[in-house]
Amino acid sequence: MKYTNLGNSKLNVSKICMGCMGFGDPENGMHTWTLPEKESIEIITNGLDNGINFFDTAIGYQNGTSEQYLGKAIRENANREDIVVATKFLPRSEEDIKNNVSGQQHIHNMVEKSLSNLGLDYIDLYIYHMWDYNTPLFDILEGLNEIIEEGKVRYIGISNCFAWQLAKANALAESNDFSKFVSIQGHYNLIFREEEREMIPLCQADNIATTPYSSLASGRLSRMPGEDSKRMNEDFYAKLKYQSTETQDLEIIKRVNELALNYDVSMTEVSLAWLLGKVTSPIVGATKLHHVEGAVNSIELNLTDKDIQYLEEPYVAHDLVGVMADNKVSATDNEKVWAKHTKDKI
């Protein structure tokens, strides 16, 4: 494993971050393809054995059971100080707003619940999961600064936002002597490269770490079409993100497969090797042991400039999809896929 500094923080993280959305009670949340406790802990432990020290989860993943499984695996199999734990909090719900729960109090409530789920004393990287259009930005930043001062969180990151929002947030934080966001977790992979327009240049200029999710496009960049998996069949949200561009994306997927055959490696290794040349630490989900192996092996694959150009050449602009498309100012909780599956459970 190789390690790197996480942006402007003092966190030393593995070049592969294990994504934990695939862990959690499959009967308690928006996903039916997640792994129960025993299997989840087995894969997390395998990641630890392979040098992965960076793990990303969220309070919204299977209603907190992903956090619970990750915390248990760390407590039983690692030294806490050697591990970088990232988790994410959700925006205020309509019920929170109705009950006059302030942005600051909401963050205190969320972090306490995540710490309880994890069974840990602190969180290394606490991530603003998606922009909260119904809460003043100052309140969010002040609440985050408070939990850092209390020692419950070391650093803060942000996910699913536009470059202007990240720039605005960090400018407001600086002007009020609050902690700034040290990382961005956006949707970025070989078949979805819209982050390159504004977000990646901003992060390079300000030394903000990039830890993209959907690194393998929910498995589409790790296998040729027609090779099924449980997630491929049951992850309705991933289908919504990628089904409209299948024709355009297929040419890139074919080229990934071609290079994989040429190098005698997996498609996973080629796809992640490309991404590793662009970002700090990609988030890679794993629901089978060979998923961990492919992610770890990708660090040793060095693509040539010609390879990179060949992979990138067919790309065409994509519309925003997923959370970035769904998280609108006017959206109600019943219209937000993450809110519908977590209501009254967190």
| Upper half-sphere CA count for residue 202 (Cβ side, 13 Å) | 20
Helix 37-49, helix 289-297: angle, nearest 10: 20
Beta bridge partners of 123: 153
Beta bridge partners of 54: 84
DSSP code, position 328: -
Residue type for position 327: N
Alpha helix (H) residue ranges in the chain:
37-49, 65-77, 94-98, 103-118, 137-149, 163-175, 199-206, 230-234, 236-242, 246-263, 267-276, 289-297, 305-312, 323-326, 337-340
Q: Give the residue numbers marked as catalytic.
A: 61
**What six digits make up the tokens of 332?**
């109600």
Give the integer Cα–Cα distance in Å for 24 and 60.
10
